[in-house]
Amino acid sequence: MKRTKIVDILSCNALVGQQVCVKGWVRTRRGNKQVQFIALNDGSTIKNVQIVADTEKIDADTLKDITTGACICAIGKLVESQGQGQSVEIQCDSIEIYGLCPNDYPMQKKGQTFEYMRKHAHMRLRTNTFGAVFRIRHHMAMAIHTYFHEHGFFYFHTPLITASDCEGAGNMFQVTTKNLYDLKKDDQGKIKYDDDFFGQQTSLTVSGQLEGELGATALGAIYTFGPTFRAENSNTPRHLAEFWMVEPEVAFLDQEGLMDLEEDFIKYCVRWALDHCKDDLEFLNKMIDNTLIERLEGVLKETFVRLPYTKGIEILQDAIKKGVKFEFPCNWGDDLASEHERYLVEEHFKKPVIMTDYPSKIKAFYMKQNQATPQGGSIGYQNTEAPEPTMQGTDVLFPQIGEIIGGSVREESYDKLLAEIEQRNIPMKDMWWYLDTRKYGTCPHAGFGLGFERLILFVTGMANIRDVIPFPRTPNNAEF
């Protein structure tokens, strides 16, 4: 008999009174000598379907083997439920056990910590919480592709293996076929790569932005959506060594238009979650964060604050004078920590903030420099004087998360970009092709990067980024 998914069983009234076949994994089994109640889930929904097994129809040996985690097929008549907690149930005629589940099943007990479940990441996917998280992750990916498709962007595939460091930080995983025990070196003791697969030093990408800019200067508007890699020894709830990035790049876009795009895009994703993930969000709101849905709905209601960095520093320093304690300093020129960003969003403004016009020295080489004192801020912050040159950066700060988007207008001038590259001692051998976009038909353009897992953190209410990606890669952890 053809299988029906549980999500369809629970949503299609037309199936009531018909014979159905369901397959999935047992969540619980309870009952007495006359009847057994089996809660079955197949991953298609957070909700279980109840199977009512009459002990006169189903033999005792079969029922004995139906334990939490076992995989079964059940056939029976779908009827309106007489009990509480479900609208329909299956009056079972037959059960076939596909896979037994012994008592050492690691996800058998309730109340396990997320830290414990990370050690069993291959099994945690079957729990209610992680089923909800990863269904939402799917829907967020669909929202991203749908948004950009509807707005005329082209999905552009950038390389995972690269010879350039987009961020200039050097925290990259090397890619090689060389025997690491027998490396060839030149007279200066540097490794020779002439016998390596690519004939030069290569690494896993930290960003698809630079190649994405090439696409934008040909196709007008593109976006990338793929894995990126950072070899940073950061053991925090906000960092991964392997994560997914969404990076749109748009020709002929200025700073104001970029901020409009960032706000519209992220609101679209949040609205998609509320429209398409109702059951999973309600479960997470109940079990993980009882302010989750309220916070998501709040994002849609608010206009994001547009705040120059210099004014943001003034607000933070004023807060310190009034007794607010921060772990890290926040003087002009400092790269703001998550605690500073969250204070601005959660305590001062109580709404998302787009921070603009950062000091040049703390931002990447490709950002466009402001030519004069930035006249920023849609909330009345005009004539905010910055003591040093600033860049046209646009970082979106969110409650619970801090920075969720990092963006900027890109420098389109060949001479200015070249000067910045030389000043920062970035090897020209890696940058010639990037500079060509400024040499041949340069154009104003802008873009941003969204850490996909940080979006999932916000939408699910989860506290640790390791819990919104199926198999987290962090320092000293590459299991599964």
**Tens digits of residue pLDDT in 235-290:** 888 889 999 999 999 999 999 999 999 999 999 999 999 999 999 999 999 999 99
Give pLDDT, residue 378.
Answer: 41
Selection from 474, 71, 466, 458 nearest residue 297 by Cα: 458
Say if CB 226 and CB 160 are below 8 A apart.
Answer: yes
Reported as a pLDDT band with limits 50, 70 and 90, residue 377 is very low
Helical axes 255-276 vs 452-460, angle rounded to 10°: 50
Measured CA angle at 330 (ends 329, 333), to 5 deg: 115
Within the chain, how many helices (H) and strands (E) appear? 14, 16
Say if CB 281 and CB 255 are below 8 A apart.
Answer: no
One-letter amino acid at 469 equals I
Give pLDDT, residue 300.
Answer: 96
Q: What is the sign, positive or negative, of the torsion defined by CA atoms of 365, 368, 374, 378?
A: negative
Say if CB 368 and CB 358 are below 8 A apart.
Answer: no
Give pLDDT, residue 372.
Answer: 62
SS3 content of the chain, % helix, strand, coil (to 5): 35, 25, 40
The Cα–Cα gap between 41 and 263 comes to 37
- Specify burial of residue 245 (Cβ count, 10 A radius: 0-12, 13-18, 19+): buried
Selection from 14, 33, 74, 69 nearest residue 50 by Cα: 74
CATH superfamily of 128-171+206-467: Bira Bifunctional Protein; Domain 2 (3.30.930.10)
Give pLDDT, residue 170.
Answer: 59
Domains 6-99 and 128-171+206-467 share a fold: no
CATH number of 6-99: 2.40.50.140
Show me where the domains of the chain are located: 6-99, 128-171+206-467
Quick one: average pLDDT of 366-372? 87
Quick one: average pLDDT of 60-70? 94
Average pLDDT, the chain: 92
Reported as a pLDDT band with limits 50, 70 and 90, residue 383 is very low
**pTM for this entry:** 0.93
Q: H/E/C letters for each residue in 269-330?
A: HHHHHHHHCHHHHHHHHHHCCCCHHHHHHHHHHCCCEEEEHHHHHHHHHHHHHCCCCCCCCC
Give pLDDT, residue 358.
Answer: 94
